[in-house]
Amino acid sequence: MNPLPARTRLSTETRQAEIVDAVLDLSDTVGPGAITTVDIARNLGLTQGAVFKHFPTKDAIWLAVMGWVESHLLSALDAVATAAPTPLEGLQAVFMKHARFVAKHPGVPRLIFNELQKPKDTPVKRRARSMQESYRKLLMRLLAEAEKRGEVAAGLDREGAATLFIGALQGLMFQAMLASSTAKLEAEAKRVFSLYLNALREPS
Amino acid sequence: MNPLPARTRLSTETRQAEIVDAVLDLSDTVGPGAITTVDIARNLGLTQGAVFKHFPTKDAIWLAVMGWVESHLLSALDAVATAAPTPLEGLQAVFMKHARFVAKHPGVPRLIFNELQKPKDTPVKRRARSMQESYRKLLMRLLAEAEKRGEVAAGLDREGAATLFIGALQGLMFQAMLASSTAKLEAEAKRVFSLYLNALREPS
DNA sequence: CCAGTTAGTAAGTGTTCAATTACTTACCAG
DNA sequence: CTGGTAAGTAATTGAACACTTACTAACTGG
């Protein structure tokens, strides 16, 4: 009748990271909409109640996961963008890095799709939107620099070009989720980016 | 204690159509993941149990809704494609029709996002995939014809171009759902399509 | 070393939901 | 007009789930 001794005892900080990690995994295997706190607990070897020692609500977990995505994805994209010798190569590096990130973490697009399916403007959605805004800024910087250097058409619709850039990647995610596989994502991304580059050239 | 007389008594065929309609509405207002059979019944002025006189399971309802989308969207796109005087104008008409369809039925992308969030290859997903395959065929036809007429680059990567075409639209949906509004969808679609057209031209 | 804090367990609680059941009544073919 | 079918109601069932509570035990600073 007495509770068994706690298996392991870790700091909230560590457990939170473990929980985020578990959710990322489960997002791919179970699907975000079907993840329960029992699933998460079992994944960590804990009881269900223990999860609530580290997050007040389930929603708080989703928000933390979104935070993980924001920091990891954006910093990776920033890194490859600034490492590239030219703006156009920067765009390509960002495009491919993003594609590879999604292929490596298929739980992430699933997670976001699950959020977008809700009509309300949830905190998680707001966070995703702010992430996309930072992303746009990065793209606009690269596009402006490319235009200055004459690598793309003068007078290019840069806002539209940024929308198409992100949109093309989101479309590739969509198609990967539809195929229930990210196997072909990277190859498709390569072809699509070639076409994208063509769209930035001087109109004839 | 005795049941009230049934308010109205309609054929299963009619009720199924009503249910599909209600789900499309609720998909936008409540969100597909949160729709319950109680919601659906209330929307029709029926009791919850009545819903199961017309569909064996809730999943069967989703499948029927997906069927509605497939037939309505594809036939509309086919129509504008064949009505267009040139293949390129056909592409434009399809692009804009698709954007307008989504803006008019915001429940549809939400519905699909909800499905894509699941890792399993559900019947609904399979149906969506077959729809996308028909869509691709339509695009490939237009692109091949455009190439024959010299309206696009000879040797264009048509498969990639089809992927980018659909992907750009899916990206626009994504961004509309992220904004929780389809208000700007059509305007964005216009800008994005201009750039898309540029991508099809002869590389310099 | 020991008192306070915190991470854990075990066992609820209240609710929500899809599907079922038993019964009723409208409609329609013969 | 009548008997069979099918669309409806009302009530129930059983499972799942987020979150809570009461208690236990491990770690940590003074």
| Domain shared by A51 and A64, yes or no | no
Residue A135 located in a structural domain: yes
Distance of residue B87 Cα from the nearest chain A Cα, in angstroms: 19
Measured in residues, chain B has a length of: 204
Q: Please indicate, yes or no, whether residues A35 and A89 belong to a single structural domain of this protein.
A: no
Token readout for A71 is 């920091």
Distance in angstroms (rounded) separating the CA atoms of residues A8 and A125: 34
Q: Given B34, B56, B78, which residue is the final one in a domain?
A: B56
pLDDT tens, chain B, 204 aa long: 455 556 688 999 999 999 999 999 999 999 999 999 999 999 999 999 999 999 999 999 999 999 999 999 999 999 999 999 999 999 999 999 999 999 999 999 999 999 999 999 999 999 999 999 999 999 999 999 999 999 999 999 999 999 999 999 999 999 999 999 999 999 999 999 999 999 999 876
Domain-located, residue A39: yes
Which of A30, A105, A116, A143 to substitute to test the interface with B, most B CBs within 10 Å? Answer: A116
CATH of the domain at A30: 1.10.10
Region of poorest pLDDT, from A2-6, A91-95, A147-151: A2-6
- Do B150 and B165 belong together in one domain? yes
* Domain boundary pick from A22, A38, A56: A56
SS3 B47: coil
* Same-domain check for residues A25 and A85: no
Single out the residue of A200, A192, A195 nearest to residue A175, CA to CA: A192
Q: What is the 3-state secondary structure (H, E, C) of B128-180?
A: HHHHHHHHHHHHHHHHHHHHHCCCCCCCCCHHHHHHHHHHHHHHHHHHHHHCC
- The nucleotides of chain C lying under 7 Å from a protein CB are 6-12, 16-27
Domain residues for the domain of B65 are: 57-200
| CA A200 – CA A61 distance, rounded (Å) | 40
* Residue A84, domain CATH: 1.10.357.10
Number of domains observed in the structure of chain A: 2
Nucleotide nearest to B8 (CA to C1'): D8
Asked whether residue B19 falls in the same domain as residue B119, the answer is no
B114 and B156 co-located in one domain: yes
Domain assignment present for residue B1? The answer is no
**A185: in domain:** yes
Count of Cβ atoms closer than 10 Å to residue A73 Cβ: 19
Identify which of B191, B76, B175, B143 has the alpha carbon closest to the alpha carbon of residue A171. B175
C-beta neighbour count of B143 within 10 angstroms: 24
The predicted pLDDT at position A162 comes to 98
Does residue B73 sit in the same domain as residue B153?
A: yes
